Amino acid sequence: MIQAVIFDMDGVLIDSEPMWKEAEKQVFSSVGVEVCDSLSAYTASMTTREVTEFWYSHFPWSGKSLEQIENEVVERVEFLISEKGKPMEGVKEILDLFQNQNLKIGLSTNAPFKLISVVLSKLDIAHYFQAISSSEHETKGKPHPAVYLSTANKLKVDPSKCIAFEDSVTGIIAAKAANIKTIAVPPNLEFTDDKFEISDFKLRRLSDFTLSHLKEIANYT
């Protein structure tokens, strides 16, 4: 029986991926990094520290520490979210659905902890969540399962009785490693990509989720 649902944040609850790209391009370019799409593709699911280390390894800079640059990126993303952050389609509807089913609701993200409250406040959905976790407070980020295990523990629910909503393969791997059933909600351009077949279920958008899906997942082994 499903007792809880855990959401990833960026790309699942909020359409923030373009903001991360914009912030990273601005900040890293300011210290001489040649930010290009081909390399950026590798960083989409990393923690902010991992992204900073990635670009430093390719284009070492001087004058500012990695921590300073990381903080500048986070502050820029925080500003962009506050200014123009928008929910992904169906966010409040699916949260209402789970709340009405008396399921516990949590969040597990690779994003810095300080951005969680910014996003939940901007979308006016903080009241739905009983537990939140950031990989910033774990020894490793996704695809390691730690951030999912932390949220399940805070919710006091066995991971096997949880569902995770993810938009990335890295996140799906993390949730599955925690023994959590996964629902992939891939970016539109990647929906047909075979890499998402590792997920238990796949949806085009959160608003496609129904109670019949919940029953099917509960019986899925």
- Looking at the annotation, which residues are catalytic? 8, 10
**CA–CA dist 110, 135 (Å, integer):** 5
Stated as kind and residue range, the H or E segment containing 58 is: helix 48-58
Tokens of 43: 């960083």
Residue (of 2, 17, 53, 54) closest to 214 by Cα position: 2
Q: Which of 173, 199, 174, 176 is nearest to 186 (CA)?
A: 199
Distance between CA atoms of 119 and 28, rounded to whole angstroms?
A: 23
Angle between helices 48-58 and 17-29 (to 10 degrees): 40
